[in-house]
């Protein structure tokens, strides 16, 4: 299976830190976030190729990082060739799928999220269901998800039966992380409608048309969107 890491965002909420360095290359616990993500993927027996979407503004930083990162996998940089704000997450995924003519299930990861679950367990979960799957993290506190995360509802077999993007009154504390395995069939949905911005729109669209399952994982997960998120990750990851 191939993995695509979204790393082309500017991270404007982390200015001035991200004026000179891409968000995914900010250090947490002595190494860039991207390093943590790649080390996790390196342990997988089922991921054979890794692609990293990046913005051309930070090309030198990404190439320098990869020259010094040792991996057993094939790793390739894919640029959106713009120095303006990056396209939406869905737009970046769609562009990558077309560029590389992806015709198989695809693992998609945010370049600014840290997690410690076993990627192969997620892949095996997906294979048993043969449908698009989303990694789900239980924050266990509804107050912490208010207006901040995409929130899901799961039925007894783990199917996603409800999704709300940054709700004011969340029904659960289950957060949809930007860690997906899109089934081959569902890749065509990337072109189905004009998605505006966040990746949650794709999940919302898919659950209206297909079965989508939630892989509920334990451990740690950090979505680095603000300086506060970054400091928490540096303390707890």
Band of residue 84 on the pLDDT scale cut at 50, 70, 90: very low
- Kind plus residue range of the DSSP H or E element containing 203: helix 200-207
Please state, in angstroms and rounded to a whole number, the distance separating the CA atoms of residues 232 and 224. Answer: 9
Task: Walk me through the domains of the chain, giving residue ranges and CATH numbers.
Answer: 2-236 (3.90.550.10)
Mean pLDDT of 24-43: 95
The reported pLDDT for the residue numbered 56 is 87
Please state, in angstroms and rounded to a whole number, the distance separating the CA atoms of residues 217 and 137. Answer: 6
Instruction: Using only the alpha carbons of the chain, give its radius of gyration.
Output: 17
Single out the residue of 122, 77, 105, 110 nearest to residue 218, CA to CA. Answer: 122
Helix, strand, coil % in the chain, rounded to nearest 5: 35, 30, 35
pLDDT tens for each residue of 158-193? 999 999 999 999 999 999 999 999 999 988 888 766
The answer to whether residue 87 scores a pLDDT higher than 60 is: no
- How would you classify the pairing of strands 132-138 and 174-182? antiparallel
Q: Kindly report whether the peptide bond that precedes residue 143 is cis, defined as omega within 30 degrees of 0.
A: no
Please state, in angstroms and rounded to a whole number, the distance separating the CA atoms of residues 26 and 10. Answer: 12
């Amino acid at each position: 299976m191939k993995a695509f890491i979204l790393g082309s965002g500017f991270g404007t909420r982390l200015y001035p830190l991200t004026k000179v360095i891409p968000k995914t290359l900010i250090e947490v616990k002595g190494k860039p976030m991207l390093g943590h993500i790649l080390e996790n993927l390196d342990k997988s027996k089922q991921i054979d190729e890794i692609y990293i979407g990046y913005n051309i503004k930070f090309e030198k930083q990404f190439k320098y990082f990869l020259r010094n990162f040792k991996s057993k996998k094939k790793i390739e940089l894919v640029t959106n060739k713009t120095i303006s704000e990056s396209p939406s997450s869905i737009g970046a995924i769609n562009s990558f799928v077309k560029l590389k003519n992806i015709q198989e299930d695809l693992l998609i990861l945010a370049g600014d999220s840290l997690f410690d679950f076993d990627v192969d367990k997620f892949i095996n979960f997906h294979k048993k269901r043969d449908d698009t799957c989303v990694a789900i993290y239980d924050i266990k506190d509804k107050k912490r998800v208010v207006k901040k995360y995409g929130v899901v509802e799961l039925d007894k077999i783990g199917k996603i039966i409800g999704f709300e993007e940054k709700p004011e009154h969340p029904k659960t504390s289950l957060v949809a992380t930007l860690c997906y395995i899109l089934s081959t069939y569902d890749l065509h949905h990337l072109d189905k409608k004009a998605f505006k911005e966040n990746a949650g729109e794709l999940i919302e669209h898919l659950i209206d048309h297909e079965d989508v399952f939630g892989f509920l994982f334990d451990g740690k997960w950090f979505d680095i969107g603000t300086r506060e998120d970054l400091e928490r990750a540096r303390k707890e990851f």
